[in-house]
Homo-oligomer: A and B are copies of this chain.
Amino acid sequence: MPTTTWNRHHVLSLADFKPAEYDTVLQTAASFQEVLSRRTKKVPTLQGQVVANLFFEPSTRTRSSFELAAKRLSADTLNFAAATSSMTKGETILDTAKTYLAMGTDIMVVRHKEAGVPNAIAAEMDRLGVKVSVLNAGDGQHEHPSQALLDLFTICSLIDPNHPRLELLQGKKIAIVGDILHSRVARSNIWSFIASGAQVHLAAPPTLLPKLFAEYILEEDAGTWRRGDAGTRGRGDTGNEEDTQTQAYNNVVNKNENFSVSPRHPLSASSSQLFLHWQLEPALQDADFVMTLRLQKERMTAHLLPSLREYHQLFGITSTKLQLCKPHVKVLHPGPVNRGVEISSELMDDPEFSLIQSQVTSGVAVRMALLYLLGSGKA
């Protein structure tokens, strides 16, 4: 398998991923996808190594996917679940991580509801001079790199199953729809799709877009979008509506914003590839791929959404709305899906358009690839 281009010790974010690294992950995952089609789906690659799943936030889907990936590489797995842990006994997160380090863990797969926890653990491991790798399995609203890599693999494999690679997305139009503000998946997706040369179109209600993006809209073409949005919502007094929305919006972003601008931020570096919409239609127009995002129902109680029904009407993906896209458009969703909210139930089950099941399958191959790339350097 192609590891010559791989020098990375942790996978924490896709912000600094190089094209050669993306391609190494894609090609390694393709090799494992082939292994998974065999009768005996195991390889002895990581025999005797220990993969610790440190899930400070509950998860079934991602944890099972990582656990299965580790087992198929013949690693031993340890599962840490916050509920039954020493966390309630006052131990710090770094101390928990160091305990698993001392037990002999080789790779830590870390999920936490706060952004930056995997980075902090990785920094501590580096400071200690140990060879343990840290893999971010989702941190707050920051990043979820393995999810974005499996999305990338799913799409690239569809275009060229034998040789999935970044350049296949050059010039494709990809719509990302939904709760961009709170989505670590979207943040990681944006990095990878921008790196591929795709055109990325974000569509969300204004309350569910990061403030940074709102300002960007205001500078470039705010008038259009804001008027358009208010119009679409069809509420009488546009002025008042804007005021209320702005206020609710500011209340939220001040508390939730953590999508900071950096020199390599896609908005600054690649504004010719990133487009923002407060309506769904311009994002869907001629799209090759539509990524729908999970809507946390809790957002409604935070007054960010009027109702699930209105959300579905405005931003839910249906067969009818999909007619705006290219004929062979495909729809993705990181799961778990609220049927009838982010996507219509019938579209979700339509194998002609839905890649949702493929994403889950890709997840095991991509996570095997990541564990393999991080683990094979240990001796």
Chain A residues in the interface with B (C-beta under 8 A):
36, 38-42, 47-50, 52, 58-61, 64-65, 67-68, 71-72, 76, 78, 80-81, 83-86, 89-92, 95-96, 98-104, 294, 297, 335-339, 357-361, 363-364, 378-379
Contacts and interface: CB of A to CB of B under 8 A. Distances in A.
A300 to B, nearest CB: 12
Contacts of A86: 60-61, 335-336
A58 B72 contact: no
Contacts of A58: 84-85
B67 A361 contact: no
A17 to B, nearest CB: 25
Contact of A84 (B68, B83, B364): B83
A73 to B, nearest CB: 11
B60 A84 contact: yes
B361 A103 contact: yes
Nearest to A62: B86
A360 B68 contact: no
Q: Which 8 A-B pairs have the closest CB atoms?
A: A102-B360, A91-B336, A40-B48, A86-B336, A60-B85, A58-B84, A41-B48, A102-B357
Contacts of A99: 61, 335-336, 360
A108 to B, nearest CB: 13
A147 to B, nearest CB: 14
24 contacts: A36-B104, A38-B48, A39-B379, A41-B49, A42-B47, A48-B72, A52-B64, A60-B80, A60-B85, A68-B103, A68-B104, A83-B83, A86-B335, A89-B336, A91-B336, A91-B337, A91-B338, A95-B337, A98-B360, A99-B336, A99-B360, A102-B359, A102-B360, A103-B360
A48 B59 contact: no
Nearest to A365: B104
A76 B80 contact: no
B71 A76 contact: yes
Q: Identify the interface centre among A48, A80, A96: most chain B CB within 10 Å of its CB.
A: A48
B64 A100 contact: yes
A297 B90 contact: yes
A336 B68 contact: no
Contact of A104 (B60, B104, B364): B364
Nearest to A41: B48
Nearest to A78: B64
B92 A64 contact: no
A98 B357 CA distance: 7
Q: Identify the interface centre among A58, A61, A103, A360: most chain B CB within 10 Å of its CB.
A: A103
A101 B364 CA distance: 12
Contacts of A76: 42, 68, 71-72
Given A42-B48, A48-B40, A98-B357, A64 B103 contact: yes
